[in-house]
């Protein structure tokens, strides 16, 4: 694997040098020098130009301060992210920006035994260099249930350096420590644990990316990236992931991009055994951007373990009524790794000894409509997915506080809708709904995968900007599990109401208060793991 990564690195370096040399030769051509004889003077006038009317939309409010620590809503393994059609930006007149802040500090305490800390600082030494750091710590512990606690700690550093007007280098480093406890043993009869009740994940990630800062004179963009992820736990499991990707994009007539991307993805898992899973992908595509139509076509050619997979890439967008109503439809697909990193991020109580290390072959067909009308932004999509090895979860037969992934070929039918509304200058509302229907070949239920998820949120900011009030309602259907008789049953669903507020005494200093799970819902997202119920925090927020 090291030889492959080294050879690929040499290839990336040679590719970049070649592109830079081509760009410099193109720019170095001298303009022709000729004599001009003026025969007679004339008065040149431009015709009246049609004013270009732009209606930019404001981005949604920052809701990152609203936290609900007991629910870890990670991306489900059957969801696939697809790129939107690319549109070249139109140069606009530069507007003066409001004063910004380089750093912030957020610290507080709450119940049940809930200290929290968040901080970040961003600096720009010059126009060429920017650097930032971040850190956070959250934990909670409930005394009436033994070992019902968690802890999350994060530190990170990120930066970007503009080497020259044609080349930029970015880098990110992060280290996370996540502690979970097997407190399900309190609800399992005649269950003892002969190992540490703590399950700790240590996750180190480093990523660097090299890309051109400006499109070259011949309409070419290029990039190369390298990412390494190292996950370990306190059960002697170690997984190494290395991802290398590089490619380029050629703009035809300055408007229609032709792209190609090559991805090399390596995984090495070591516990009692040593296993490898290496994927390779080649993704060429072309996008035609018209006045009303945007069409994208391409191919995802992937291979893994000497097998080849072909996934079509097709997408069409049609502006039925400008930006008010846009119809879209498409098909896409990929290989998704069911490795220890991805499975444990979705279910932290997963068995640390995986029986298999493999891919899910996913194909998606989708269609819907989206648009922007006045201050309404909406989208609605129906999609069908075919997944040959979708992951579900059941308790281990011997150690029932652990979960084993169960794989099956599954058809997923989904409806997803989003609506947001800017009521006025100081009030914003948004809602999102997803409903999934699962049809598997061999298993009777979608074990521990919710079918219905809905959330509704709002943000109010006073006119003097001193007060912010947040509210969020999360609703999720109960998940199916197998009882002691082997029959399917459903756990209770989630109804979680959260409220929070910030009040700025000065421009830079504020007090905050958050109350999560006001209804004191103690649903079990995973069998025998009830949530914390109501919790709250108060503290101070400083920006500088």
pLDDT digits (tens, 9 = 90+) for 103-123: 999 999 999 999 999 999 998
Residue 413's contacts (CB-CB under 8 Å, 6 or more residues apart) are 382, 383, 384, 436, 437, 439
Q: Is residue 396 part of a domain?
A: yes
Q: Is residue 51 part of a domain?
A: no
pLDDT band at 194 (very low <50, low <70, confident <90, very high): low
Give the pLDDT confidence score for residue 263 in this predicted structure.
98
How would DSSP label each residue in 343-359? HHHH-TTB-SS-S--EE
* Averaged pLDDT, 321-329: 95
CB atoms within 10 A of CB 249: 19
Taking a C-beta distance cutoff of 8 angstroms, is the pair 519, 535 a contact? no
**Residue with the larger pLDDT of the pair 355 and 93:** 355
Structure tokens at 380: 């609605």
* Averaged pLDDT, 26-40: 42
pLDDT band at 268 (very low <50, low <70, confident <90, very high): very high
Nearest one of 482, 508, 339, 310 to 407, comparing CA atoms: 339
Residue-wise pLDDT tens digits, 282-292: 999 999 999 99
Q: Is residue 85 part of a domain?
A: no
Residue 78's contacts (CB-CB under 8 Å, 6 or more residues apart) are 360, 362, 385, 387, 390, 410, 412, 436
Taking a C-beta distance cutoff of 8 angstroms, is the pair 287, 257 a contact? yes
Structure tokens at 341: 């990193």
Question: For the chain, first and last CA: distance in Å?
Answer: 46
Q: Is residue 487 part of a domain?
A: yes
* Averaged pLDDT, 267-292: 95
Give the pLDDT confidence score for residue 99 in this predicted structure.
55
> Is 175 a residue whose pLDDT tops 60?
yes
Beta strand 480-482 with 467-476 is: unpaired
Taking a C-beta distance cutoff of 8 angstroms, is the pair 379, 368 a contact? yes
Q: Is residue 395 part of a domain?
A: yes
> Is 196 a residue whose pLDDT tops 60?
yes
SS3 labels along 143-202: CCCCCEEEEEEEEEEEEEEEEECCEEEEEEEEEEEEEEECHHHHCCCCCCCCCCCEEEEE
For residue 199, CA distances in Å to 178, 179, 189, 340 come to: 8, 6, 21, 14
CATH number of the domain bearing residue 438: 2.40.170.20
Helix segments in 282-411, DSSP class H = 340-346
What mean pLDDT, rounded, does the chain reach? 84
Query: How many whole angstroms from its chain centre is CA 343?
Result: 16
β-partners of residue 172 are: 158, 207
Give the pLDDT confidence score for residue 447 in this predicted structure.
96
Give the pLDDT confidence score for residue 178 in this predicted structure.
97
Question: What percentage of the chain exceeds 90 in pLDDT?
Answer: 70
Taking a C-beta distance cutoff of 8 angstroms, is the pair 503, 530 a contact? no
pLDDT band at 24 (very low <50, low <70, confident <90, very high): very low
* Averaged pLDDT, 480-485: 91
Q: What is the residue whose two structure tokens read 């932290």?
A: 348
The distance between the two most distant Cα atoms of the chain, rounded to a whole number of Å, is 105
Structure tokens at 488: 């399917």
Q: Is residue 520 part of a domain?
A: yes
- Prediction pTM value: 0.79
> Is 102 a residue whose pLDDT tops 50?
yes
Nearest one of 544, 473, 539, 479 to 512, comparing CA atoms: 539
Please give the DSSP secondary-structure letter assigned to residue 289.
Answer: E
pLDDT band at 164 (very low <50, low <70, confident <90, very high): confident
How would DSSP label each residue in 13-42? HHHHHHHHHHHHHHHTPPPP----------
Give the pLDDT confidence score for residue 193 in this predicted structure.
75
Q: Is residue 147 part of a domain?
A: no
Lowest-pLDDT choice from 211-215, 315-319, 344-348: 211-215
* Averaged pLDDT, 398-422: 95
* Averaged pLDDT, 398-403: 92
Nearest one of 391, 402, 399 to 440, comparing CA atoms: 391
Q: Is residue 424 part of a domain?
A: yes
Residue-wise pLDDT tens digits, 35-66: 444 444 434 444 444 444 444 444 444 443 43
Distance CA 120, CA 106 (A): 9
Domain that holds residue 392: 374-544
CA angle 145, 147, 150 (to 5 degrees): 115
What is the total count of domains within the chain? 1
Distance CA 23, CA 20 (A): 5
Distance CA 222, CA 19 (A): 8
Lowest-pLDDT choice from 9-13, 251-255, 317-321: 9-13
């Amino acid at each position: 694997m090291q030889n492959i990564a080294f050879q690929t690195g040499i290839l990336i370096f040679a590719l970049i040098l070649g592109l830079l040399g081509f760009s410099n030769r193109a720019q170095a051509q001298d303009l022709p020098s000729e004599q001009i004889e003026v025969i007679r003077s004339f008065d040149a006038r431009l015709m009246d130009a049609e004013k270009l009317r732009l209606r930019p939309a404001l981005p949604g409010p920052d809701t990152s301060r609203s936290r609900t620590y007991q629910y870890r809503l990670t991306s489900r393994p059957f969801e696939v992210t697809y790129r939107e059609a690319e549109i070249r930006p139109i140069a606009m007149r530069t507007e003066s920006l409001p004063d910004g802040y380089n750093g912030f500090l957020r610290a507080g305490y709450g119940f049940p035994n809930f200290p929290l800390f968040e901080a970040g600082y961003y600096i720009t030494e010059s126009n060429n260099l920017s650097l930032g750091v971040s850190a956070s710590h959250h934990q909670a512990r409930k005394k009436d249930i033994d070992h019902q606690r968690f802890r999350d700690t994060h530190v990170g550093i990120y930066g970007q350096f503009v080497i020259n007007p044609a080349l930029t280098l970015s880098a990110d480093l992060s280290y996370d420590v996540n502690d979970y406890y097997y407190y399900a043993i309190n609800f399992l009869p005649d269950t003892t644990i002969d190992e540490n009740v703590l399950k700790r994940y240590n996750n180190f990630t480093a990523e660097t990316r090299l890309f051109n800062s400006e499109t070259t004179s011949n309409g070419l963009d290029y990039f190369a990236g390298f990412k390494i992820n190292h996950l370990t736990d306190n059960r002697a499991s170690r997984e190494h992931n290395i991802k290398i990707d590089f490619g380029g994009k050629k703009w035809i007539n300055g408007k229609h991009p032709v792209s190609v991307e090559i991805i090399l993805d390596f995984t090495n898992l070591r516990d009692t055994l040593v296993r490898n899973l290496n994927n390779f992908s080649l993704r060429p595509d072309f996008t035609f951007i018209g006045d009303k139509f945007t069409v994208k076509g391409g191919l995802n050619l992937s291979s893994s373990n000497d097998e080849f997979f072909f996934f079509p890439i097709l997408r069409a967008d049609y502006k039925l009524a400008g930006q008010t109503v846009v119809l879209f439809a498409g098909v896409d697909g990929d290989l998704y790794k069911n490795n220890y990193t991805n499975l444990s991020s979705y279910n932290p109580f997963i068995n640390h000894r995986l029986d298999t290390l493999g891919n899910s072959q996913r194909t998606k067909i989708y269609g819907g409509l989206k648009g922007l009308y006045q201050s309404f932004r909406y989208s609605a999509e129906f999609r069908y997915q075919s997944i040959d090895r979708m992951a579900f979860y059941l308790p281990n037969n011997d150690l029932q506080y652990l979960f084993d992934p169960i794989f099956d070929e599954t058809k997923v039918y989904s409806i997803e809708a989003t609506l947001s509304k800017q009521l006025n200058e100081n009030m914003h509302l948004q809602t999102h709904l997803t409903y999934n229907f699962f049809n598997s070949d061999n298993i009777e239920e979608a074990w521990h995968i919710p079918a219905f998820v809905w959330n509704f949120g709002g943000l109010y900011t006073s006119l003097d900007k001193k007060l912010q009030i947040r509210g969020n309602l999360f609703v999720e259907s109960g998940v199916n599990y197998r009882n002691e008789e082997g029959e399917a049953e459903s756990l209770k669903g989630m109804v979680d109401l959260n409220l929070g507020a910030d009040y700025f005494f000065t421009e830079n200093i504020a007090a905050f208060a958050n109350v999560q799970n006001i209804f004191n819902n103690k649903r079990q997202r995973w069998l025998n793991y009830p949530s914390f119920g109501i919790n709250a925090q108060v503290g101070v927020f400083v920006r500088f």
